[in-house]
Every structure is written in structure tokens, then in C-alpha cells.
Chain A
């Protein structure tokens, strides 16, 4: 196990820059998720760490080793593929043993290692099965066992959950997290699913167009996104165009509303308000950040109501309010007051 250091790595395919000047430090035992839309360069980055493709610039270091120009078979990394990529002609046990055999471990050590790895992913008794006789979730667990058994310095996961159905995905997700914490292995995972990323990662790296947009813990990225892209990619939000007010504490929307907010970034041209940070009440209230609004849509979600609120300036706010048994019901056309939590509104730049 070791820390992973990516320093200014880039990858150019023909004339296209797939990854541009990416730097990332992953601490020993940390779980980092690369998150972004397809084509953002996250998988290319992961494949550069694995050595399947060589970076055109920059260095990759695992612990103290510079592996930038090492082929994958000398890097000692575990890789789990989106489509599992089990060896279809080998049994479950031989799939898991493959890496140990390449390392020429004694037969006893191999069988012990295989047994331990299969126990770890709860697949005891499946040793003699062929991969095609397993369900998708089981195949994925074999793939994880196969990658972990070689005691890799870094574990790399390429969209490991995207081929599983929704129910199974949750199970395997928590299973992955459990295994990662149990083994304390430095892990980098790639996904385009922000829920998955938020629930599993110590830190997130949001990427777009081959560039890192922001690196941070999930809470920081959710509450203080660096730009409009990050804000839109992680969670839902209202984005009101405008300019910072003169008092440096408020943001004036294009419609003319002055909204008091917690933070305004330099060059801010957009105010981000998450739907759950808007309170709604049926009375008229005259206070800071309270605005009269008409409900244009009300969707009951069980635990919450999703409301579309039209402000007097014509601007639209999406709000999510609790819908407990004691809470009010909302109807379309109702006139209400929307109160924006000043601590939760942030002025951000649309690009950075």
C-alpha cells in the first residue's frame, strides 16, 4: 500500500487532449473518486495510473516508485473493469489465483490467498464455478477478489457498479467501501454517477473536458462548488444570474432581487441555492431573504414536496420542503413566501 502521486499528467490522442495537466495526491489508504460526464478524461486518467496507456507528459508515482514509463505488469496495481473482464476459460479459483501464479508464489500460499480473497467477498464454495455460471454481482465480486489478492499498492475501479441493477448497486457499493476500509488500500474509482461518488468517496475529483474542476471532500463540493459545472454536476440547484451587490454580502439577481448570501467568489455571476435550503410558508413574511412567490408546480415525493416557485421578478426557484404528517400540503396557484437560507446561498463564477 502506498500513496499515489500524479504530477501534471496529460494525454494527447492524435490532436485531442483527453487529459490536460492533471495533478492529484492520493494519500495512503484514501478512497478518491474521479467524477465527470463521459468523455471528461476520467477513465483515461485511471488507465494512465494502471499503465494501459502512457501519459504524454507528467509523472505517475506510486509510493516512492516512479512508474510513469512502467508497463502495467510491473506496477502492482489492482484493476476492476466495468464489464468484470473475468477470464472466461478459468474457474473462479483460477481467476483469483492468476495474479499469484504470475508472481510464482508457492502452491500453498496461492490456495490460502484464494480462499481468503473469496471469503472476503463472501464467495466461499464458488471456487469450481466458471464465470458464466455466476450472476453479474457475483462476477463483480470475483473481479474484486482477483484484484485484491495480489495485495496491490493501489486499487483502481473503472465504473465497477454501472452494469449492476439499482438494488444490487447499493449492496455492492457498501461492500466495496467495507472492503476498502478493511484492507486500507489506496483506491481510485471512476464513475459518472454523483450519488455513487458522494456516498463512497473520501475525496472527489470532478472533471470536465479533460481538466480538473475541483478536488475536495463531498460536503465541500456540494456546499461550495468552485464553479457552475461542479454545482450542476453534484446535486440539484437553482442558478440565478446576476452580479454581486455593493455591500459584498448580497447578490443582486438579474430580476433585481437582493439576496443575502454566505459567500461570494471573485468574478461571481451566478447565485447557487440548493432546493432544500429554501423554506416555504403560507403566510406573508417581511424579513431578510423572504420573497413572495406563487406555486407553479407541486410534486409530492413521499418524504418531501418538490415545489416550483415563481417569484414576482419572473425568476423561478425549485424548492424541496419536508412533507411530514404535520406539515402543510401545497397546491398549485397558492401564494406563499419563500425564504432563502443566507448561510446556504453562494455566489459562484460560471467558469473558472
Chain B
């Protein structure tokens, strides 16, 4: 009986470890493969590699479209992240603290960009921006502003979900305590609630940045001739050539995001927020 149970438990643990291992492999295999490919010497991808070198990384510097694409993507992602937080932080407070009528409907409305295919969002945005330009005479398509405005739509659902979930985890009694001690609602939000949901804010910023940085569907509609974001540059390069250059670009992008995650995790525990 006891042996039977011990055996069952061991089998269960083994099955659990196996499942986790399999899932991790499926998730990580493409990443590992891309990084591995980026060090191959041969131009035509084939296995086994002829040798290893850093030549593709060196070649990147000469590829203007990757450098400028990276710059534009980074600026747009930063702008979209900042703008997204400016919108979602107050929205999350209002949705989880105030007794707004129809708060569920508003929440679902703000989550809707997740449901609509990104290509449709991009096409719609393009038409809207053109109309805006025609009506106002202000150039917006192809500007960082136009990009950021489009990408904000993509960051809002992520940001809002993370922030409302974190706000729900804050004991209302703690905010009441601040109020009873003489803090106005604004001071309470800044001095008490915000520090408590800080990991969530950081996680929301990270998610927003990554979602915007990697986006291609919306960006495709917003670029002007001669302009490019990193994902678009990669796509265009792949149309003509399949060599490890793209793998090198991707490896750099993976390294960038991984570094951002690791550094952030040192300051705030992301596991708590997500």
C-alpha cells in the first residue's frame, strides 16, 4: 500500500517533470536554433555547419536598413510604451477603484484590440490617419507619432490587464488606512497604491515594449517609402536572401529582450506581477 503510493507519487512527479521539460523545449527550441544558426560560417543554411564565425554580426553594421530599423523600432516602442502607460494607469485605477457604471463593458472595449486581427487594425488605422491628414494638413503617417498612436492600441490590452490584476491584489483597507491618516485620494494613489503595484507597472511597460517592438502587421501600413522598422527590415531581407544575417539580427533582439527581463527582475520580482 505504502509502496504503491510512493510509486504513484514518483510516477506523478516524473510525468510532471516530463511535461514541463517538453513544454520548455517546444518554447525554447526556435530561440536556441536561431542563435545557433547565427554563428554558422556557411551562407546557405545546411546541417551540419561548415564552421562557426561572427561574420554575420560584423556584416550587420554595413546593413543600413537594420540599423535604422532598429532605431525606429526602439523609439516607437518607447513612445508607445510611455503613451500606453499614461492611458492605462488612470484607466486601471478608475476601472478597479471607482464605481463606474458599465465598467465591465469599458474593460472589454479596451481589450478589443486583442480580438481584432492586427492586420485589420493596421488597415483601419492607415485609412483613419490619411483622413486625418487630409482634414488637418498635418503629416502623421510615417511619423513616430503616427506609429506610436497605432502601437498604443496594441499595448493597451496587455497593460490594462496587468495593471487591473495588480490593483485587484491591493487590499482596499491599506488605501483606507492612508485616507484616514489624512492622505487625499491622489496622494494615496501616488504614495501607497503605486508603490504596491510597481512590479505590475514595470511588467506592463516591458510587455508593451516587446509587443510594439516586434509588431509588423500594424507597422506595414504606417511606414513611408524609405522608412523601415526592424521587423519590416527583416521581412524585406528574407524576401531576397536566406542567410544567417537575419539569424544574427534575431539573436541580437533576443539578447536585448532577455537582458531587459533579467535586469528588471533584479529590481522588481516579475513573477509576482504577471
Footprint of B on A, CB under 8 Å?
50-52, 71-73, 75-79, 81-83, 85-89, 98-99, 102-103, 143, 146-147, 150
Contact call A98/B179, Cβ cutoff below 8 A: no
A79 touching B176 in the complex, CB below 8 Å, given contacts A88-B196, A102-B187: yes
A-B CB contact pairs (8 Å), 23 listed: A50-B176, A52-B176, A52-B179, A73-B182, A73-B184, A75-B180, A76-B182, A79-B176, A79-B180, A81-B176, A85-B171, A85-B173, A86-B174, A87-B177, A87-B192, A98-B178, A98-B183, A99-B181, A99-B182, A102-B187, A103-B182, A147-B181, A150-B182
Report B227-240 CB contacts with A as 1/0, cut-off 8 Å: 00000000000000
- A-B residue pair count with CB separations less than 8 angstroms: 64
Q: Does B12 contact A (CB under 8 A)?
A: no
Least CB separation from B180: chain A residue: A79
Contact call B182/A85, Cβ cutoff below 8 A: no
A-contacting residues, B9-66, CB 8 Å: none
Contact call B176/A85, Cβ cutoff below 8 A: yes
Q: From DSSP, what is the main secondary structure of chain A's interface residues? A: loop
Complex Cα distance, B196 from A51, in Å, reads 24
A83 touching B177 in the complex, CB below 8 Å, given contacts A73-B183, A88-B196, A99-B182: no
Interface size on B (CB < 8 Å)?
17
Shortest Cβ distance from residue A129 to the other chain B in the assembled complex, whole angstroms: 18
Shortest Cβ distance from residue B140 to the other chain A in the assembled complex, whole angstroms: 41
Complex Cα distance, B179 from A73, in Å, reads 5
Least CB separation from A50: chain B residue: B180
Q: Does B124 contact A (CB under 8 A)?
A: no
Least CB separation from B195: chain A residue: A89
Query: Max chain B CB contacts within 10 Å: which of A50, A51, A52, A77?
Result: A52
Which A residues touch B191, using CB under 8 A?
98
Contact call A98/B181, Cβ cutoff below 8 A: yes
Least CB separation from A158: chain B residue: B173
Least CB separation from A104: chain B residue: B182
Contact call B181/A71, Cβ cutoff below 8 A: no
Which A residues touch B181, using CB under 8 A?
73, 98-99, 102, 146-147, 150
> Ordered nearest first, which 9 A-B pairs have the shortest CB separation?
A99-B181, A102-B182, A85-B173, A79-B180, A72-B179, A85-B177, A89-B195, A81-B173, A85-B174
Complex Cα distance, B195 from A322, in Å, reads 59
Which B residues touch A85, using CB under 8 A?
171, 173-174, 176-177
Shortest Cβ distance from residue B183 to the other chain A in the assembled complex, whole angstroms: 5
Contact call B176/A87, Cβ cutoff below 8 A: no
Which B residues touch A81, using CB under 8 A?
173, 176-177
14 more contacts with CB within 8 A, not counting A51-B180, A73-B179, A103-B182, are: A52-B176, A52-B180, A71-B179, A73-B182, A79-B176, A79-B177, A81-B176, A83-B171, A86-B174, A89-B195, A98-B178, A99-B182, A102-B187, A150-B182
Which A residues touch B187, using CB under 8 A?
102
